[in-house]
Amino acid sequence: MKTPLLNSFVLLFLGLLSACSQPLTVEDYKDIALTGTGISGQVTDSRGIPATGAYVYAYRNPRSNLRGPADFESKVKNKSRYFLDLVEGDYYLVARMRQSGADAGPPKAGDAWALPAKNPVTVHPGELTTVNFVLQGVAQPMLMREGTLTSGDTGFSGQLIDADGQPLPGAFVIAYPDIDFQRMPEATSPSVGENGRFHLYVERLGQWCLAARTRTRGQPIAGEPYGTLGTKDSNCRNAVPGQVIDVGTIRLTPYRQ
């Protein structure tokens, strides 16, 4: 009688033979998922429609800001599913769907993207980790900073507006433990969409001081839309466990050095 281990080996072997003769299908992914180690899941757009043709990329480290050639990639096929065949370890993931349909190239305005709820994602030996993505479009591409969370139950929300009081798509919020905004932020929100609404999720309680900007590298430069939450005495809030606090609007105006 076959042992469970032998059954697993047979399934994996048959899956590999299939892969050698023809492209893997969704059903093949299901077979591999019984025995393999890696990450799988679904990728959809904001309406829940399968994002066929999107790609999920896995990076070993975040030094590239999740841009450039990835260490691993998987194309989303039928029924919005993907599969990354990975060994155990930590991986930084991002899903992208380029308007051009290409699998590589710098992000451009109009492309769609998504992050997992938290990076990195840990893969354990002999286990398949499930990570689903919901793509969102942004007005301009953004380099994702380490410390960016896309979901959670503790943090802050609000709206980013420009000097004329209009929503400012493509901007994002950065957060610090104090009002020294001249160093690297401790937390960052994803860039906002057309309505300017932001959600900044944090992992620790205590004081957070909020600012917003549009560029992703270095200190603000002259003319860059930039703003803080209120004045010097009111641009900080305390995170409350299990609550996403609406802090109102942050107005971004041209930065003056």
Q: What is the pLDDT of residues 230-248, one digit of tens each?
A: 876 678 999 999 999 999 9
Q: What is the pLDDT of residues 33-56, one digit of tens each?
A: 445 789 999 998 877 888 888 999
Rounded to the nearest 5 degrees, what angle is found at the Cα of 193, between the Cα atoms of 188 and 105? 80
- Residue with the larger pLDDT of the pair 49 and 98: 49
Residue 171: band (very low, low, confident or very high) from pLDDT cuts 50, 70, 90: confident
Q: What is the pLDDT of residues 68-85, one digit of tens each?
A: 789 999 999 877 899 999
Q: Do domains 36-137 and 155-254 have the same CATH topology?
A: yes
- Residues 132 and 244: their CA atoms lie apart, in Å, by 22
Mean pLDDT within 142-170: 79
Which tokens sit at 137? 């479009």
Distances (CA, A) of 84 to 14, 58, 71, 87, 122: 18, 8, 11, 10, 13
Cβ atoms of 121 and 93 closer than 8 Å: yes
Kindly give, in sequence order, each residue whose CB lies less than 8 Å from that of residue 148, ignoring residues fewer than 6 positions away. Answer: 115, 119, 187, 188, 189, 190
pLDDT of residue 147: 57
- Residue with the larger pLDDT of the pair 171 and 145: 171
CATH number for region 155-254: 2.60.40.1120
Q: Which residues of 167-183 are buried (b: 16+ CB within 10 A; e: fewer)?
A: bbbbbbbbbbeeeebee
* Single-letter amino acid code for the residue at 23: P
pLDDT of residue 20: 35
| Residue 164 predicted with pLDDT over 50 | yes
The domain limits of the chain are: 1-34, 36-137, 155-254
The CATH number, out of the four listed (3.90.550.10, 2.60.40.1120, 3.30.70.1140, 3.30.499.10), of the domain defined by the range 36-137: 2.60.40.1120
Average pLDDT score over the chain: 78
